Amino acid sequence: MKALDLKDIVDLKSTEERRATGYSGTSSMSRPARRKAPAPPKYFSVKRALYDFQADSDEELSFMAGDVLVVLDESPELTQDGWCQARLRGTKHTGLAPVSYLESAEVVLEHFKS
C-alpha cells in the first residue's frame, strides 16, 4: 500500500468536503454575482452654429459660425427660454448656447469623433 503524502491528504479532504456539502464545482454559488447590465448609451444631437456667439457669462458657451456643437440637454426648462446645454466638439468647453443660432447637423455625424 502506498503511503499518502500531504498533497494526497489535502486533495482527499477537499473531495470529502465537497461531497459532504453537495458542492460539485458547477453550482451557481461558486460563480461571482453578475453586475447589473449598463444602461444603453445616451445619444446626443449634433448642431452646427449659424452665427458667431460671444458668451456674456461663465455659464454660456462661446462659438463661431460653422462650429459643431454636441447638445447635451434640450430640456423644456432650457428650450422655453431659447437655450440648450452644449459642448463644443473636440473640446471640453460646455455651456448654454442659444438655440436660434444653431441648425441640425446630421450630415456631420459620419465625421463625429469626440
Could you report the per-residue pLDDT of 2-56, keeping only the tens digit for each?
565 555 545 555 555 656 655 555 555 567 788 887 776 667 789 999 999 999 9
pLDDT of residue 108: 46
Domain locations in the chain as residue ranges: 45-111
Grid cell at residue 105:
447637423
Q: What's domain 45-111's superfamily in CATH?
A: SH3 Domains (2.30.30.40)
- Among candidate residues 111, 2, 1, the one with its CA nearest the CA of residue 48: 111
The residue length of the chain stands at 114
The pTM (predicted TM-score) of the whole model is 0.57
